[in-house]
Amino acid sequence: TLKTLLEAENLELSAVAGYTNFTGGAEAPEVPSVELQIAYVEQLAMRAQALGGNLVRIFSSYEQPGVALAGQWQKTVDAIGECCARAARYGVTVGVQNHHDLGVATKTFAELIRQIDRPNVTPMYDCWCVHLRGEDLEEGVSQMAPQMQFTTVADYITLPRSQYQPALVNYR
């Protein structure tokens, strides 16, 4: 089993990576997209526990155009709160990474974590998003570090990007 391989190599499971978007599926409201994702996170928590881990990484939500932001925000807070409740049954913490629109800015991310208000939620502050947005990296890390259990670091290289605009015969 994977747990046996981890133990044989004297390795610990850092986190199980989940991919969520709690505002996704708005175009088909009859599909229980949020409930399916919550069940998915619970399954990841079960697997993390079985592998000797205690952390599942998820994302928040992409902002959906034409839908009230306050409703999207509350749906995200409630969904992650329920993920935390279910993960707690397995002794697992839910780590929210700041990749998606809701919570990508450091100040907003801190407020998202505060509103989720669960003992087993932790920010997984990824500097990539902060770097791309031009935020002060040191300030953001200092703000989030006391709560963080895990983060991702890399040697970030920003490459110029352009998108051709045929109507303008030019690039943006």
What is the predicted pLDDT for the residue at 151? 82
d(CA 98, CA 62): 11
Q: Between 141 and 112, name the one with better pLDDT.
A: 112
- Find residue 17's DSSP bridge partners: 57
What is the predicted pLDDT for the residue at 126? 87
CB 21 within 8 A of CB 58: no
CB 61 within 8 A of CB 75: yes
Average pLDDT over residues 147-156: 82
Instruction: Check pLDDT > 80 for residue 153.
Output: no
Measured torsion, CA atoms of residues 101, 57, 94, 147, in degrees rounded to the nearest 10: -80
What's the chain's average pLDDT?
A: 93
Average pLDDT over residues 72-87: 98
Measured torsion, CA atoms of residues 38, 5, 149, 156, in degrees rounded to the nearest 10: -100
CB atoms within 10 A of CB 123: 26
| 40 burial via Cβ count (<10 Å: 0-12, 13-18, 19+) | middle
CB atoms within 10 A of CB 25: 16
Q: Tell me how far the alpha carbon of residue 60 is from its chain's centroid.
A: 5
Q: Between 131 and 171, name the one with better pLDDT.
A: 171
Average pLDDT over residues 27-56: 96
Q: Between 155 and 76, name the one with better pLDDT.
A: 76
What is the predicted pLDDT for the residue at 84? 98
pTM over 0.85: yes
